[in-house]
Amino acid sequence: MSRSRFGTIALLLVAACGLLTTSAALSAQRGAPPATVSPSTRIDVADLRRWLTDVASDDLQGREVFQEGLGLAATYLADQLRALGVEPAGEDGSYFQPVRVLGIRNTGVSSVTVTVKGQSRTFRDGEGVRFPKGQGGRQTVSGDAVFIGYGVEFAPLKHDDYAGRDVSGKVAVHIGRGPQGITATQNRLLFARSRTATFDHRAVAAIGAETEPPGTPAAPPRNPDRQADFQSAADYERPQPPQVTADDEFLRFVFSASGSDYDDLKAKAERRESLPRVSLADVHLRFDIRPDYTVVQTRLTRNVLGRVRGAEPALRDSWVILGAHYDHVGYAEFAVQPNEGAFTGICPGQTRPTPAPGDRIFNGADDDGTGTVALLAIAKAYARGPKPKRSVLFVWHAGEEAGLYGSRYMADHPVVPLDRVSAQLNVDMIGRNQCDNPAEANVLYLVGSDRISSELHATGELANAASARPMTLDYSYNDPADMEQLYYRSDHFSYAARGVPVTFFTTGLHRDYHYVTDDVSRIDFAKMTRVTSLIYDTSWRIANLDHLLTRDNRGPRAIRRVGR
């Protein structure tokens, strides 16, 4: 556990708290002005160490959303921004944007109407099909059905259920617990199948059989006194592609004219065998989304916002956003025992470190203390150094760990127009080597850089190539079939879902992830400084272009390691 001088000012803070790569893209980027001085001279490792010692101290109690520790952290960040000369960009001239997290009850009834060779049947929610409680706003969506087997893309198994299948504008239907070889550590792939179909492959809707992936823990019993069906910081009435589960009766009807017996397909899927291609050419589905939402609860937290105005009047009203989440997961009620708690399967053969006796605070030095203080360092470089042509907005998001609360709220209530945002750069866990592997000392993982803008991808590569010590850029987490699904798991996704080009910077996961041993003593400050410098240089290039980055939606591409 880390201690700091932060405790000497804690009472004051409590009082203050209150509540491409295409040739065109490369040519454009080559014309961008370089940083006035080397970024490494503007990022001070002593700053990073001092700030991180404070942010990851025990005094902040693990910075859990809705708790006192996160309020202290917010006030601390605002104090630092004020001292650095960064302008406030929050509500009423403050550094804060209140984030309202709503508890929602849905008593509406939606339905799916299936038409097979002219015969139609309607299935209401809870009677053959199940809609998620947070199913988006009222709408009607329809499309022809396409069977996509298990609905899995997984390169290690050479398994791709989308090969030769086009689900764009159609309804994707998948069944089963995944092909042979999928294990509990790949569960994220299976839980994400409907999202993959609708978001990545542009299906208008997705239907999955009611089955749980291997290793799924039993659901806790529902509290009958609980009023809210779900929590939301996003616009819960914004229409979204329907994603439902279905029982055997529904699926038997869907497959009734296909020439394949559904029960035979189900049996093959239960044995996790290869599934045949089945045509659903005569099947059409219509989804009638009819929610009835009631807000029954409101909880409040805060994003922290600062800005540096651009120097070019014609570009000053366009933006680059840099973001990190400043929350973590709080503290345990009792002292954590050795090897207690879940551990990511990304580091095979490794176990949790032994915590210090009595340690129960999840300090979150790397997750995401490193991203939090990296943004402070970049904000200092912009506030006290040369000004770029366009403006830069810094956002410390609250509640990422609880469900991207802060970034989802910001995407729905932006303080700057999102169509005037050239890119959003997200920084989360940049202080270690993945799995503490010495061979990863020069590796930086980039996620999402090419999915919306190939020009953004080119910018990052050119900034890296121009640095005194280029890093090895690894895009394996950008693979849509990556089992960790990092593209969807941090704050950048809230902006990407609104069409804003994003890059997520991380040095990867390790055995201290979401554990009490994620302390400052384990941070590689030299590597963290290099990564922060590269992010600053990348943002500088974007902020000095005479145009917004092209949104050509050429990705995603499963690029591997560059420069190795």
Give me the half-sphere count of Cα atoms (radius 13 Å) on the Cβ side of residue 158: 0
The CATH number corresponding to 108-291 among 1.10.4160.10, 1.10.275.10, 3.40.50.1240, 3.50.30.30 equals 3.50.30.30
Model pLDDT, residue 480: 81
**If you average pLDDT over every residue of the chain, what do you get?**
89
**Which among 153, 151, 358, 132 has a CA at the least distance from the CA of 240?**
132
Sequence-ordered strand ranges (E) for 77-180: 87-88, 96-106, 111-116, 119-124, 129-130, 139-147, 153-154, 159-160, 171-174
Model pLDDT, residue 41: 59
Q: Does residue 563 carry a pLDDT above 80?
A: no
Chain region(s) in the chain for CATH 3.40.630.10:
5-101+298-562
Model pLDDT, residue 64: 98
Which tens digit of pLDDT belongs to each residue from 199-238? Answer: 989 999 999 998 644 444 444 444 544 589 999 999 999 9
pLDDT bin (cut points 50, 70, 90) of residue 189 is confident
Question: What backbone phi and psi angles, to 5 degrees, belong to 416?
Answer: -135, 150
Looking at the chain, the whole-number percentage of residues with pLDDT higher than 70 is: 87
Q: What is the mean pLDDT of residues 533-538?
A: 97
Q: What is the mean pLDDT of residues 536-549?
A: 97
pLDDT bin (cut points 50, 70, 90) of residue 346 is confident
- Continuous H helices in 261-391: 262-270, 371-384
Give me the half-sphere count of Cα atoms (radius 13 Å) on the Cβ side of residue 35: 25
Q: Does residue 417 carry a pLDDT above 80?
A: yes
Q: Does residue 21 carry a pLDDT above 70?
A: no
pLDDT bin (cut points 50, 70, 90) of residue 12 is very low
Q: Does residue 194 carry a pLDDT above 80?
A: yes
Q: What is the mean pLDDT of residues 89-104?
A: 98
Which tens digit of pLDDT belongs to each residue from 496-511? Answer: 999 999 999 999 999 9
CA distance 538 to 515: 31
Q: What is the mean pLDDT of residues 399-417?
A: 97
CATH of domain 5-101+298-562: 3.40.630.10
Q: Does residue 35 carry a pLDDT above 50?
A: no
Model pLDDT, residue 210: 80
Rounded (5°) CA angle 40-41-43: 65
pLDDT bin (cut points 50, 70, 90) of residue 5 is very low
Model pLDDT, residue 22: 41
Which tens digit of pLDDT belongs to each residue from 351-372? Answer: 899 999 999 999 999 999 999 9
- Cut 0.75: pTM above it: yes
Q: What is the mean pLDDT of residues 268-286?
A: 96
Model pLDDT, residue 336: 86
Q: Does residue 37 carry a pLDDT above 60?
A: no
Model pLDDT, residue 556: 64
Which tens digit of pLDDT belongs to each residue from 461-471? Answer: 999 999 999 99
CA distances from 303 to 144, 428, 429 (A): 42, 16, 19
pLDDT bin (cut points 50, 70, 90) of residue 303 is very high
CA distance 275 to 135: 30
Chain region(s) in the chain for CATH 3.50.30.30:
108-291
pLDDT bin (cut points 50, 70, 90) of residue 479 is confident
Q: Does residue 328 carry a pLDDT above 80?
A: yes
Q: Does residue 155 carry a pLDDT above 90?
A: no
Model pLDDT, residue 107: 95
Model pLDDT, residue 221: 46
Which tens digit of pLDDT belongs to each residue from 332-343? Answer: 988 887 777 666
Model pLDDT, residue 408: 98
